Chain A
Amino acid sequence: MNSLVLEGSPKTPSINFDGEKGAFLIEGRSIPENSLDFYKPVMEWLDSYVKEPKEETKVSIRLEYFNTSSSKCILDVFKKLETIFKRGNKVIINWHYEMDDEDMLEAGEDYQSIVKIPFNMIEDDE
């Protein structure tokens, strides 16, 4: 399976989904005006991945900011991964937040309350 790599910009996160290793990273800021446009290729890539997923998929989310229109798209990413988790594959989400950023921790807990995949909440030092 190919990888999906999108370089970050001041308003969009960098995406690095390694299809061979099953290691996914979303990092930076996700504050585009139209999130659906930005996340469309991500969803399409995931549609292919969920057909032939790795035995284990490790997702790291390391976001500084995200807007509410991105928040639905991020949930859609998790929901796609939830389908392979429910089929018995191992999926882990590592939700990173900066030290003392309770809002970002809460945002992770929001997703944790909706999605069945196990979450690790990881407080980064800087």
Chain B
Amino acid sequence: MGKTSKDKRDLYYRKAKEEGWRARSAFKLLQLNEQFDLFKDVKRVVDLCAAPGSWSQVLSREIFKDGTNEDAKIVAVDLQPMSPIDHVIELQADITHPKTLEKIMDIFDGEKADFVCSDGAPDVTGLHDLDEYIQAQLILSALQLATCILKNGGTFVAKIFRGRDIDLLYSQLGYLFEKVICAKPRASRASSLEAFIVCIGYKPREGWVPTLKPELSTEEFFQDMKIGRASLNKNLEFIDEERKVAPFIACGDLNSVDSDATYALDENFNSLSLDPIQSPTAPPYKKALELKRKGQLKITK
């Protein structure tokens, strides 16, 4: 899709460029907030898998609105570097590493977080079951950090793909939060599996102190937490995990822009065509592309 047709098909993409958001996903968090009032009285926020930074932008604008809330702190964590955003402390780090947790705690002066979010998604392969598994692992990594850093009653929001095993995740999150809701902002296409899990009221099992240890895999970390994840048994019995459907809430006004609809453009559209706010980072196949450009790659179709 060329720039023009993407502009035409996707009004959110266009609006994001006009309003200076780094990605259209900013509207998803804005609509989630409209519905759940997520940022009310929030002081310490962790944005995981933050690059290119559109959620951090939303957090920064909303939490520091009207110059109030000056003691609030936002930490954005990603493996990739990110260009600076006002009021956001960037941390280029691995979210599964214990050191990262320490660094965030230092920034928060030892206080726990009110709000942890993650809009991260892995590169999809196209093999649905594998992609869903990897996405679930990414959410678990974010959740692992969240369980260590969230205060009781805190909120966790993450991107999910509503595939075949999403009910396992709903069930397992139910052990950790008062309320687990599957939310779909209008800015997220109906044709996409994407939705967001909004987990309100963090309440870890009494007596359980989550600790990140490098020798534990995320799976082992959560097996210890007893939230019903599958585990290794002596005789390799396959035990069906508990499944649960989380209530669904559509967010954003019904009159807001429909991300599936095609919109007509203004007449003066051409003069308005905008470049994206943030260029994509270098892909791993950069060298392959270079070779192809030079005609050194034998690609026959």
- A and B: real partners? no
Which B residues have a C-beta under 8 Å from some C-beta of A? none
